[in-house]
């Protein structure tokens, strides 16, 4: 279809040029980085000092692939119920079982320094959410062309990511703190395709704990 109906192809990462050529695409293939709306973010001052309390955060759909559970456990294991350090977890929607599990962990740990934010945020409120953070964390097991880490670095916010799939492109730059992510797991897409498809790649919780501590201390 591409060869017959189109004059050129635009792809968002260099490795896709090889993938498309190998798949039989013989029209010109050009690289165009992932397009994102960041005017509101770029108009804000670059972050130059930490908050009190210090705030870690993530904005992602509540799905096991996004790994909010390991982030929550790493945060609580490293910092406990420290009132000087906070974690904000936001998601527009998600797996109700996972959401309830996160709530249970928070309840059992009596964590008063963790905030779950459920539901969509208007653009102004979303920008304010990102701008309230001292460190953005997205250690998902697999990603499409991840938008939120790009948004966080546009504000100058230290950003921890898992070094897998599409995050590998970001990890090659000096702007991110990548975590080794080589624990191979079947990718559960039953919620979308009704089956497992391919693989995801997990991190080691201790590695995340060390990264959180490093950013907090420095």
Give the per-residue pLDDT at 13: 87
Nearest to 89, CA basis, from 77, 111, 108: 111
User: What's the pLDDT score for residue 89?
Assistant: 98
> Rounded to whole angstroms, how far apart are CA atoms 56 and 134?
6
Task: Report how far residue 89's alpha carbon sits from residue 102's, in angstroms, rounded to the nearest whole number.
Answer: 10
Contacts of 12 (CB under 8 A, 6+ apart): 31, 32, 33, 34, 145
- Is residue 122 within 8 A of residue 112, CB to CB? The reply is no
Q: Is the peptide bond before 53 cis (omega within 30 degrees of 0)?
A: yes
Digits of tens for pLDDT over the chain (218 positions)? 999 999 999 998 888 999 999 999 999 999 998 889 999 999 999 998 999 999 999 999 999 999 999 999 999 999 999 999 999 999 999 999 999 999 999 999 999 999 999 999 999 999 999 999 999 999 999 998 889 999 999 999 999 999 999 899 899 999 999 999 999 999 988 878 999 999 999 999 999 999 999 999 99
pTM for this prediction: 0.93
Q: What is the largest distance, in Å, between two alpha-carbon atoms of the chain?
A: 61
């Amino acid at each position: 279809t591409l060869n017959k109906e189109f004059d050129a192809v635009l792809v968002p990462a260099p490795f896709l040029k090889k993938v498309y050529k190998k798949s039989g695409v013989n029209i010109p293939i050009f690289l165009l980085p992932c397009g994102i709306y960041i005017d509101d973010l770029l108009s804000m001052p670059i972050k130059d000092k930490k908050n009190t309390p210090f705030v870690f955060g993530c904005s992602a759909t509540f799905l096991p692939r996004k790994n909010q559970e390991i982030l929550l456990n790493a945060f609580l294991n490293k910092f406990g119920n420290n009132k000087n350090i906070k974690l904000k977890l936001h998601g527009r929607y998600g797996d109700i079982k996972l959401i309830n599990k996160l709530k249970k962990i928070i309840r059992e740990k009596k964590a008063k320094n963790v905030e779950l934010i459920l539901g969509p945020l208007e653009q102004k409120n979303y920008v304010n959410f990102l701008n309230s953070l001292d460190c953005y964390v997205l250690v998902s097991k697999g990603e499409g062309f991840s938008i939120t880490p790009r948004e966080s670095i546009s504000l100058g916010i230290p950003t921890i990511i898992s070094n897998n799939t599409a995050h590998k492109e970001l990890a090659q730059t000096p702007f991110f703190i990548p975590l080794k992510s080589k624990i191979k797991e079947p990718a559960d897409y039953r919620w979308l395709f009704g089956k497992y498809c391919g693989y995801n790649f997990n991190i080691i919780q201790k590695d995340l704990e060390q990264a959180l501590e490093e950013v907090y201390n420095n």
